[in-house]
Structure 1
Amino acid sequence: MTGVPQETGEWIRRFHPSDAQTRLVCFPHAGGAATFYHPVSQALSPSVDVLAVQYPGRQERHTEPCISDLSMLAERVAEELHPWTDRPMAFFGHSMGAILGYEVARRLQSSGVQLLTLFASGRRAPSCLRDEDMHRRDNDGIIDELKQLQGTDARLLDDPEIVRMLLPAIRSDYQAVETYRYEPGPLLTCPIIALTGNEDPHVTYDEATSWRSHTSGPFELQTYSGGHFYLNSHAAAVMETIVWHIRAASSGWLEEPRTA
């Protein structure tokens, strides 16, 4: 651990500072921002101190160059999170955020920081490769994909000025996750909880289950009705899962996996 946590910073957002014994670090999806997790912070505070990662190239960081290499992004985020490891922490990442959270967890573990739990949402396991090229499509192709995923307000995507501001970060994020290649190494030792929608076109059941092979600790798969952004319709259930597992892990015990 190095330094003293700061209340504000370029990389970390802390919407509802709390003296809770545990922290949850949230990683946004491709094109997403830290504010996506404001409702999570509001709901879990003060029982959990919620941090959200703000990638460069969006919102108040829109003038900064995006990072289109996921390994490089993971290195930077790991550096920024080190000062916050004074309390036990869990990670929650959705879509690209799940892979980024996993890679940051690997880096922190190698430096002696043990996570309570990794929640991997809406993403196949790192070792499951698909040939995807969304970042190479034209603007209309990317917008069509975003509309199908239903994770972005369609009214925003119909506004040319907003689209002009959003597309560089979205394209960069897609490039980061689509060019990512898993490199075998030590397994995580913390539990991994995979969460997925049963109609998500980007994650099959087997691909979600494959997260099991990335930890020597417990594994659980939670399946919800819906597509890639299933969590928008199941926010309360997802947060209940998060709180239960954080409490279980921080208490030093884990029961048999719960039924969904």
Structure 2
Amino acid sequence: MTSGSTGSTSPWFVRPPSADHAARIFCFPFSGAGASAFSAWPAVLDDIEVCPVQFPGRENRLAHPHYGTYENLAADLVPALVPLLDRPFAFFAHCAGALPAFETVVRLTDLGLPGPDCLFVSGQPAPHDASRDPMLTMSEPELRAEVESFIRSRGIEPRPDMIDLGLAVLLRDHAAAGAYRRAEPVAVRCPVVVLHWRDDPGVSLDDLAAWRRYSDAVDIRVVDGGHYDFMDAPEELLKLLTSWR
């Protein structure tokens, strides 16, 4: 194995993926967020490199055109992934980020490319149930309040311009979520590990059960914490994320 970086930095990744580790886990953020959602995570877990994915239209890609739909996002991401599929890999995706992650798995399969060894989905109902998300019925003022509440939950006193920027990103992501439709489940070849956060009032175990229709190997696990606690890299979560190796 060649030591060092795999080459020039793609805009899809906040740092150049390394060739020094045995496996990779690609991490998909939730609506309104970017790769910084994983900034508290270690860069490597038991020789698995953590590779946060940076969607266009936010953070250091704010000037890049928004992806528009999850299918477009998957189609645009795959070419950036192809050089990095030379070793075992998994996907981790939180909340609505699980939907483009799933679409990326489907696209890799359709193109005859290697798929992940495991798909981890966190706090998100199955794709064919995505249109039932209560957040899709929220008004712009309600979404603004969500942005402000989230920023405060991270220990930051939000400035108006911070809220405006966060809302602008969320509204575009929200439109993509509202446009997403997958009428019937499509099975993937990899195991799917579904994470339910014990203190998450917005997503129940029953909401997650339909993921069992997406793979012959689905494991639904309950982990301690609330909806956004994955950002703090709790030890229980990190142990699960190395269980596929």
TM-score (norm 2): 0.86
Aligned CA RMSD, in angstroms, stands at: 2.6
Mapping of residues 66-145 of structure 1, within 5 Å: 66-112=66-112, 113-128=114-129, 129-130=131-132, 132=134, 134=136, 137-138=139-140, 140-145=141-146
Aligned residue for 1:40, secondary structure, equals coil
The residue number in structure 2 matching 1:222 is: 221
Partners in 2 of 1:186 and 1:104 — Cα distance?
13
Read off the aligned partner of 1:220 and give its amino acid letter.
Answer: D
Partners in 2 of 1:131 and 1:26 — Cα distance?
22
Read off the aligned partner of 1:221 and give its amino acid letter.
Answer: I
User: 1:22-47, CA deviations, whole angstroms, 9 ceiling, x for partnerless residues?
Assistant: 11000011111112223324352x61
- Once structures 1 and 2 are overlaid, which stretch shifts more, 124-133 or 84-93? 124-133
The residue number in structure 2 matching 1:253 is: none
Aligned residue for 1:244, secondary structure, equals coil
Q: What is the CA-CA distance between 1:49 and the residue it aligns to?
A: 1.8
Q: Is contact 2:199–2:227 with CA below 8 Å preserved after alignment?
A: yes
Sort the Cα spacing of 1:136 and 1:67 in 2 relative to 1 into closer, same or farther, 3 A.
Answer: farther
Percent of residue pairs bearing the same amino acid type: 27
Q: What is the CA-CA distance between 1:231 and the residue it aligns to?
A: 2.2
Sort the Cα spacing of 1:26 and 1:213 in 2 relative to 1 into closer, same or farther, 3 A.
Answer: same
The residue number in structure 2 matching 1:31 is: 32
Mapping of residues 1-260 of structure 1, within 5 Å: 5-14=6-15, 17-44=18-45, 47-112=47-112, 113-128=114-129, 129-130=131-132, 132=134, 134=136, 137-138=139-140, 140-147=141-148, 153=154, 155-156=156-157, 158-184=158-184, 186-216=186-216, 218-232=217-231, 235-245=234-244, 247=245
TM-score (norm 1): 0.81
How many residues are matched? 239
Q: Is contact 1:123–1:202 with CA below 8 Å preserved after alignment?
A: no
**Unmatched runs of 5 consecutive residues or more in structure 1:** 248-260
Read off the aligned partner of 1:141 and give its amino acid letter.
Answer: E
- Once structures 1 and 2 are overlaid, which stretch shifts more, 175-184 or 191-200? 175-184
Sort the Cα spacing of 1:180 and 1:201 in 2 relative to 1 into closer, same or farther, 3 A.
Answer: farther
Q: Is contact 2:41–2:232 with CA below 8 Å preserved after alignment?
A: no
The residue number in structure 2 matching 1:256 is: none
